[in-house]
Amino acid sequence: MSLAEEYSKTDGESRLSQSIAHLKQNRRAYFLIAPAAVFLLAVVGYPILETFRLSLYRSPADSTIETFVGLQHYVEIVNSDIFYRLLWQTGRWVLVGVAGKTLLGLLIAVHLKNDIQGRKFFRTAFLIPWGIPYAISAVVFRWIEHPQFGYLNAVLLKLGVIDQGIGILGNPDIAWLGVVVADVWIGTPFMAIIFLAGLQSIPQDLYEAAAIDGAERWHQFRYITLPQLKSVILMATLLSTIWTFVSFDVIWTMTGGGPISTTATLVIHIYQVGLQNGNLGRGAAYSVIGFLFLLLFAIVYLRVYTRGGDEL
């Protein structure tokens, strides 16, 4: 046995014995959290395992018989064009949506922190979009963007910018933007409130000291606000990314994933394949892939997040 192997074995053994000792020492604590852990395993673990199991079977809509097909669904998915189109559309939806919500949220939070007139009113007003059920907001935006009845087209027609209504949600090139706008409108207040809370926890004397040193507002924002807000921004964007990734109601209500599936994301496609068309096995395989993507993203993101010594 080489020296390195011996070291590593010794290291492994000592880590194992440390773990056993830790378990013995904290036996009571583990015993106390056991019910919660079992409950979590039941309500979270079981559905995940069942979804994975289902993804290994073919289960047509018109039959109760499940046929084991192994990894066939996965192979077919990764060999299909639609999968890569869905990945691109999901990535675009998440990236633009989260970026929009983050930037707008930050902008609003910075302004609401300042002592502007009517600050209380604006703080309340900005929360309204977040308080409205997503599906209702989506319906409102669908009507705003409607080519015949929509306010947007009515205004543009009145101004003479266009001579006939534009069907934003019916245009394969820009429909996704029409949906992202609605999602950003809905999700921005949450980001703004989180950022506002973060901003209010930054010590005021940092700004005073910077002002005495002659730092302008942009520099104060760049070198004080952003670094101090880093952990809040990272946490809020992580949550927003997960929520946007799994978002269903806005897209479904506004476009149903169309036109020509150009606004469909992985989650929309899972619903269409698994529930609408009754192909549960294929839908489950897509779900597992989506879950793995999110898990991978969260792990990488948290690695980056904690690299600077930040604690969750």
By the rule CB under 8 A, 182 interacts with other proteins = no
Footprint (CB under 8 A) of other proteins, residues 65-94? none
**Nearer to other proteins (CB atom), residue 175 or residue 236:** 175
CB of 263 to other proteins, least distance (A): 8
How many CB atoms within 10 Å of residue 198?
A: 21
Alpha carbon distance 190, 238 (integer Å): 13
Selected binder of other proteins within 108, 112, 166, 266 (CB under 8 A): 166
- Site pattern 228..257 for other proteins (x: CB under 8 A): ---------------------------xxx
3-state secondary structure 4-30: HHHHHHHHHHHHHHHHHHHHHHCHHHH
Selected binder of other proteins within 83, 92, 171, 231 (CB under 8 A): 171
Selected binder of other proteins within 60, 177, 235, 242 (CB under 8 A): 60
H helix intervals, 114-202: 119-125, 128-131, 134-144, 151-158, 175-200
58 Rama sector, left if φ>0, alpha if ψ -120 to 50, beta otherwise: beta
- Site pattern 261..290 for other proteins (x: CB under 8 A): x----------x--xxxxx-----------
Alpha carbon distance 207, 201 (integer Å): 12
By the rule CB under 8 A, 156 interacts with other proteins = no
How many CB atoms within 10 Å of residue 114?
A: 8
Selected binder of other proteins within 85, 96, 110, 167 (CB under 8 A): 167
R_g (Cα) of the chain, nearest Å:
25
DSSP-derived 3-state class of residue 58: strand
Alpha carbon distance 180, 171 (integer Å): 14
By the rule CB under 8 A, 220 interacts with other proteins = no
- Site pattern 38..57 for other proteins (x: CB under 8 A): --------------------
Selected binder of other proteins within 73, 101, 146, 269 (CB under 8 A): 146
CB of 158 to other proteins, least distance (A): 15
Q: Which amino acid is at 99?
A: A
CB 188 within 8 A of CB 104: yes
Selected binder of other proteins within 86, 168, 250, 266 (CB under 8 A): 168
Contact residues toward other proteins (CB under 8 A) are 60-64, 146-148, 164-172, 255-261, 272, 275-279
